[in-house]
Amino acid sequence: MAMPLETPISFTNVGRIRWWQRGIFASQTGYVLLALAVLLVVMHFASPYFFTEGNIQNVAKNFSFIAIATLGVTFVIITGGIDLSVGSMMCFSAMITSMVMTELSAPGSPAGSLFVHMAADGKTVLANVPGLILLVSLLAGLGVALLAGLVNGFCIAVLGLSPFVTTLGMLSIVRGLGYVVSNGRGSFPGGPDADYFYALTSGDVLGVPVPFIYLMVLALTMAVVLHHSAFGRHVFALGGNEKAAELTGIPVVRVKIEVYVICALAAGLQGIIISGWLGSAPANMATSYELNVIAAAVIGGANLAGGIGGPLGAIVGCVLLEVIRNGLVLAQVSSYWQQTLVGVIIILAVLVDRIRSRMT
């Protein structure tokens, strides 16, 4: 059916877009990455402590604490949605994980007798199968995140509620549930598997903090999914033109539900990791973190109107926020300035991108 071409088409009227006007070079992520590089150089000269091993480890750990959730929320933002419930989700998942862990580790309780027994000395609690309690409690923590994500996705994709309102409601619901289940006190990881839990959440491998390793693995996975899978293509299409996505037969409802589930799971995982570092899951944990997460995503170049964003941008946004925070501390500037500066950077980053797109 292909018609033989009499003449191959030429591109006499259509110029090639130059490499520096395409891809990352023409994106907000590119500009912010450049700004970050400049900032790192400035920091190096401003403070001799900045590039010390301890400080870099510290920075890597700190930005990993919001970056995994930022990856998740970036998925949602690319589809043109928003998820405000990530902060509450972090807290609730962490809380459920440590509560289940503590509950299953109590030798007297009906559930506990399946997992633990008393050692011969009558004091030490031993696990029947080492690591099983940890696995079950992690699954429980991620399970509640999955449920919340499904509810978000269902309300938004099937019932057609606005993402802002739905997830604002979910923010409150999940935070409230956190207070209800813990009676406002929060919870602590405990029992025989607690050591594994700490090793998996706040340990390090060859000097690299484990949250940073998780982040890298997840970011690479996300890059492959977004740019090399049909699902990723559909996520971008949904943000670019939802009606077109529908007309071309993309399963819009399914893709939407999936991104909210991914986002909730990322937030849940993030919360569990933070609780490992804190050593507890207080009921007010991660309050208003959704703002940091969304700010990081937006600074990194995710467009709230949809259609643009990626893992590199999410990480660059988080690193920039953390380097500024760290830098202000090292420069002995009052930490109260931090929030103000973050706000300025959000607006500047978006402004620079607007000016650039006006010029081309």
Chain residues that interact with other proteins, rule: CB under 8 A? 1-3, 5, 8-14, 16-17, 224, 227-230, 233-234, 236-237, 239-241, 243-245, 247-250, 307-308
Query: How many angstroms separate the CA atoms of 229 and 78, rounded?
Result: 15
- If the CB atoms of residues 185 and 227 are measured against other proteins, the closer one turns out to be 227
Q: E strands within 207-346?
A: 208-209
Angle between helices 86-104 and 163-182 (to 10 degrees): 30
- If the CB atoms of residues 11 and 336 are measured against other proteins, the closer one turns out to be 11
Query: How many angstroms separate the CA atoms of 293 and 295, rounded?
Result: 5
CB of 224 to other proteins, least distance (A): 7
φ and ψ at 220, to 5 degrees? Answer: -65, -45
Q: String of b and e for 91-130 (b: at least 16 CB within 10 Å)?
A: bbbbbbbbbbbbbbbbeeeeebeebbeeeeeeeebebeee
- If the CB atoms of residues 60 and 78 are measured against other proteins, the closer one turns out to be 78
CB of 5 to other proteins, least distance (A): 5
CB of 136 to other proteins, least distance (A): 26
310 exposed, middle or buried (CB, 10 Å; 0-12, 13-18, 19+)? Answer: buried
- If the CB atoms of residues 40 and 218 are measured against other proteins, the closer one turns out to be 218
- If the CB atoms of residues 14 and 159 are measured against other proteins, the closer one turns out to be 14
CB of 23 to other proteins, least distance (A): 10
CB of 170 to other proteins, least distance (A): 27
CB of 166 to other proteins, least distance (A): 24
Residue type, 110: P
- If the CB atoms of residues 235 and 324 are measured against other proteins, the closer one turns out to be 235
161 exposed, middle or buried (CB, 10 Å; 0-12, 13-18, 19+)? Answer: middle
